[in-house]
Structure 1
Amino acid sequence: MTGVTGGTGVTGGTGVTGGTGADAGVVTVNPATGEELDRYPYTRPEDIDRVLDTAAGSPWGRSSVERRCAAISRLGDILAHRRESLAALVTLETGKPIRQARAEIDKCVGACRFYADQLPGMLRPETFDIDGDTAVVRVVPIGVVLSILPWNYPWWQVIRAMLPAIGAGDTVVLKHAESVTGSAMAVAEVFRDAFGAGVLQTVVVGPATASELIADRRIAAVTFTGSDRVGALVAARAGAAIKKCVLELGGSDPFIVLADADIPAAAAAAVESRFLNNGQSCIAAKRILVHRDVYDEFVAALVPQVTRLVVGDPADERTDVGPLARHDLRDSLREQRSRALAAGGRILAEVAAPEAAAGAWFSPSVIEVESDSVLLSDETFGPLGAITTGADDDELVAWANSSRYGLSSSVWSADDDHAMAVSARIQAGAVFVNTISATDPRLPTGGVKASGYGRELGRWGVHELANLQALRIRAGGGTR
């Protein structure tokens, strides 16, 4: 492999890095305490070459559908068996409350069960007649996929982005976020135990090396989940190399409460969506947009539920909200909060976080804002909610579509026809009616506008990173 130390960085805000040459590597940190967890050396250039050659030479793409389903089922079994240890590591590295870390592993198990059952139908060739000729469209693997993934769901991000591709017959080289390198190593071990060598391998590399990997001849496609700023760099690098690229670039999802909504249910859902995973979810309810006629009632229902959140040690079973995953994320969120308050924002609800200077703590809060607030224009990645009001459906829709992002959204109304009419006007990759945004292996997930392009999950995710190869056969070998 050449050029592993040059190029444009394609990842941002990862773990602590230090050293040069053979001493370079990653230090992972417990965000609740600031204590060092472990150290990992960067993967050496010769070992990166070995990983790429193994992935490119793997027989996985020639395996039968039955073998793939059996391996995916085995993956689910292993995840279920190791649930407690894997969840505990996620909590240590990210600050995710332990109950939610277990739920993340459980969700991965469910996705494995789904694909093990449904993959044969997704891969079945489609046959039809064209002017007397037999035509077939078959799903063929494209090769090695480089997957550059974030830290907020260390396991679900891998399953969501890469299990469909593996089901299609592709192999994967994973460059995970540096702050979850321990989980990345666990991912590699679990996949090796389920699929054998070479199907999914982890490399520990810095931004420059990740950028060079995109252009490597052995890489057929790249997926990236993260910020739109870094996603643009990944897309440019992939485009220059004429590689397929799938981007999921976050969002500033609107949570729209119409005048005829069930207010108690909507308020409870808003709190769940905004503060799940310590507020660090791409599809969280980041902008709560409430019809003026029910605004006061909604706020009255929302505030007590926010103030009842338990903030503390993420390893404690009672904890609802832990620390942010990193200190730089906390500092960015504090800056957004200060700007919002300086522009006239008003705190409606707040829960004090622990006074631990070494940890990445932030007090969960909801701020009432005006139209010029940074909380309405930028993505907020943490336990900080913005709420504002609109005079009618048109104004609420305008608010929803004013963001440069378009990942997901949620609409609340007791009238299904009303909700459907409003949802049809929302510019987003998904709309959820009377339920919070959530990824599901049975549905495609992905965004529009600055939230990226391409789809993951369901049959759409299987086909996204595959060659949909057309075959036309003339009967008898003759010509017409």
Structure 2
Amino acid sequence: MSQITTVNPATGENIKTFTPMDKNQVNDLVRKAKRAFPEWKKDYEKRRSYVYNLVEYLKKHKTELAKVATSEMGKALKESIGEVEKCAWALEFYADHGDSFLSDEVLSSDARKSFLTFEPLGVIGSIMPWNFPYWQALRFAAPCLMAGNVIVMKPSRVTMQSGIEIEKAFTESGMPDGIYQTVVGSVESANNLIDSDVNAVTFTGSTNAGAKVGERAAKNLKKCVLELGGSDPFIVLDDAIIEKAAEGAVKGRFINCGQSCVASKRFFVGKNIAEEFTELFIKKASQLKVGDPMSIETDVGPISNKEGLETISGIVEDAKQKGAEILLGGSEIEGKGFFYMPTILKNIKPNMRIATEETFGPVAPITIVENESEAIKLANESEFGLGASIWTKDLAKADKMSRRIDSGIVSVNNVVISDPRIPFGGIKHSGFGRELSRYGMLEFVNLKSVRFYDNLTHHHYVE
């Protein structure tokens, strides 16, 4: 296996080189996790105490952790700090509420006593992306660990040190050995993890990669949760509060340099307010400070890697050649690093790549629509179904529209954001299964039904 070298996307300079683990090393991690599992699953209060210690570690070291992520993938430092803070929140949330989520559920049947109990599966293999290197890993880990599972996680090759820092946080906060371990490697290492003796697999990343992970897990008859790509519609109706919608558009499209599965990626705007909204959107987007992500004043850093920059440039060039009008930006920023200007386009056509592909960068295509029915039709004309946002004063109308949109998440008068209290996940090519909330916790437990009978009972001689 070839070496892995991380690159600072703000400068283009190499940061560090890592040697990937081979199959035997991956299997050793899983065996170690297997040995740790029986004791870890026994006592919820002990797990809670360990996780509280981890929370305090993250709060204390949030700035140094943030700097590692920013150096590896280019996220603005203030966003990286916020990411670590959100991880602490999620861990604390599950430590506080996980026991109630796992309480036995009384069932009604013809037995004397019937109930459902929730038991951990064992070792969960986790394959995580680079765009939120701490949040993606720990929003899965928080409920998984509190449910009594243990984790072997492979971070992205782009943010390998960030992944290692998570394991370091576990170790230095006093977590028992073998509860959370890191696989250093790339695709081959991920495949070795799936093929190992893990009990289930979770993957966050692209749709194409997710399909391969799902296929490989299925061949091994392993439970799998896939959180994949998105091309979220951002629908602005004629009665929307335009100032608020424009602010939301900037946040929804340009946070994390547009590199988020739930970023707002396709903008559908009512014809009567399209001009006013577009002007305000351009004004607010043009005020974003693009530059050194280590500066606390920076709003937008670089694209995370050279390949991503080339993809975004290609998508915008394709749109230009097919008739799109560039209203803001539209090109790479000369100099060091992988920077792309915040970009807004209009005159979008169905045959453009930007209309169909997931656009992982700071690029916003605007389409003017006649009414909400056209907006919903266009919103649903996508292979993805992760999130959507609707902007309107008419909440009754928003309620009806939310039920017609093909997605796992809908936000009204706000952008789509993940929250440990709310289920997160999509449909169609955006994956299956859920993260966060009680539903996310129950993805990696055995739902065991138990019944106590007084008499032998059968139902029509059918099992």
Instruction: Give the TM-score of the pair, scaled to structure 2.
Output: 0.95
CA drift of 1:371 comes to 2.8
CA contact (8 A) 2:323 2:347 kept: yes
2:187 corresponding residue in structure 1: 207
Match of residue 84 from structure 2? 105
* 10, 31, 34: which one aligns with 1:32: 10
In structure 1, the partner of 2:170 is 191
Q: Equivalent of 2:349, from 344, 361, 371?
A: 371
1:4 corresponds in structure 2 to none
Which moves more between the two structures, 86-95 or 365-374? 365-374
What's the CA shift for 1:45?
Answer: 3.6
Check conservation: 1:32, 1:359, Cα contact below 8 A: yes
Contact 1:366 1:384 in 2 (8 A): yes
Asked whether the equivalents of residues 311 and 353 of structure 1 are also in contact (C-alpha less than 8 Å), the reply is no
Q: Where does 1:1-400 land on structure 2 (aligned, <5 Å)?
A: 20=1, 24-58=2-36, 59-194=38-173, 195-216=175-196, 218-350=197-329, 354-356=333-335, 358-372=336-350, 373-400=352-379
| Aligned 8 A contact 1:172 1:201 in 2 | yes
Contact 2:26 2:189 in 1 (8 A): no
Q: Distance in 1 between matches of 2:414 and 2:269?
A: 16
The structural deviation recorded for 1:135 is: 1.1
1:60 and 1:449 map into 2 onto residues whose CA distance is 39
What letter matches 1:370 in structure 2? Answer: I
**Mean alpha-carbon deviation: is it higher for 273-282 or for 65-74?**
65-74
Q: Secondary structure at the match of 1:464?
A: helix
* Distance in 1 of aligned mates of 2:8 and 2:154: 20
Taking the aligned partners of 2:381 and 2:188, their CA distance within structure 1 comes to 34
Which stretch has the larger CA shift, 160-169 or 89-98? Answer: 160-169
- State how far apart, in whole Å, the 2-side matches of 1:295 and 1:263 are: 10
Q: 1:403–1:134: structure 2 CA closer, same or farther, 3 Å change rule?
A: same
Q: Choose 68-77 or 461-470, whichever is displaced more.
A: 68-77
> Given residue 328 of structure 1, which amino acid in structure 2 is its aligned partner?
E
Residue 73 of structure 1 and its aligned partner are, at CA, apart by 1.5
Q: Which amino acid aligns with 1:164?
A: P
Long gaps (5+) in structure 1: 1-19
Q: Deviation digits for residues 29-73 of structure 1, max 9, x if unmatched?
A: 100001111111112443322211011121354321111211221
Partner Cα separation in structure 2 for residue 222 and residue 215 of structure 1: 10
**CA offsets, 1:94-153, max 9 Å, x none?**
100010000001111111221111111011111244224211211111111111110000
The question of whether the paired residues in 2 share the 8 Å contact of 1:410 and 1:435 is answered with yes
347-356 or 418-427: which moved more? Answer: 347-356
Query: Is the 1:309–1:351 Cα contact (8 Å) retained in structure 2?
Result: no
State the Cα distance separating 1:354 from its structure 2 match.
Answer: 4.4
- Aligned residues of 1:408 and 1:429 also touching (Cα < 8 A): yes
C-alpha contact (below 8 Å) 2:388/2:409 kept by paired residues: yes
Report 1:400-439 matches (<5 A): 400-439=379-418
What secondary structure sits across from 1:312 in the alignment? Answer: coil
The Cα shift of 1:370 comes to: 2.4
Change (3 A) 1:391 1:365: same
Following the alignment from structure 1 to structure 2, what is the Cα–Cα distance between the partners of residues 452 and 46? 30
Compute the displacement of 1:223 (Å): 0.8
Equivalent residue of 2:264, what SS?
A: coil
Asked if the contact 2:83–2:135 (Cα under 8 Å) also holds between the matched residues in 1, the reply is: yes
CA RMSD after TM alignment:
1.4
In structure 2, give the amino acid aligned to 1:55: A
Partners of 1:206 and 1:289 lie apart in 2 by 38
Match of 2:461 in 1: none
CA distance in structure 1 between the partners assigned to 2:429 and 2:347 by the alignment? 23
2-side partners of 1:299 and 1:236: how far apart?
A: 43
Cα shift at 1:275: 0.2
Displacement of 1:418 in angstroms is 1.3
Equivalent position of 1:7 in the other structure: none
Deviations along 1:293-347, one digit per CA (max 9) or x if unpaired, are 1111111211111111111000111111010100000001100000011110011
Name whichever of 334-343 and 367-376 sits farther off: 367-376
Give the CA deviation at 1:196. Answer: 1.5
Q: 2: distance between equivalents of 1:211 and 1:167?
A: 26
Q: How many residues align?
A: 454
Partners of 2:40 and 2:172 lie apart in 1 by 18
**Greater Cα shift, 127-136 or 138-147:** 127-136
| Alpha-carbon shift at residue 187 of structure 1 (Å) | 0.8
Spell out, residue by residue over 1:244-265, the C-alpha distance to the aligned partner (whole angstroms, 9 max, x if none).
Answer: 1110111000000011110110
Q: Percent identity of the aligned residues? A: 37
What is the CA distance between 1:180 and its match in structure 2? 0.6
**Maintained 8 Å contact 2:387/2:408:** yes
Equivalent residue of 2:273, what SS? helix
Contact 2:58 2:169 (C-alpha < 8 Å) held by counterparts: yes
- Structure 2: runs of 5+ lacking an equivalent: 458-463
Q: Is the 8 A contact 1:280 1:382 kept in 2?
A: yes
CA contact (8 A) 1:61 1:141 kept: no
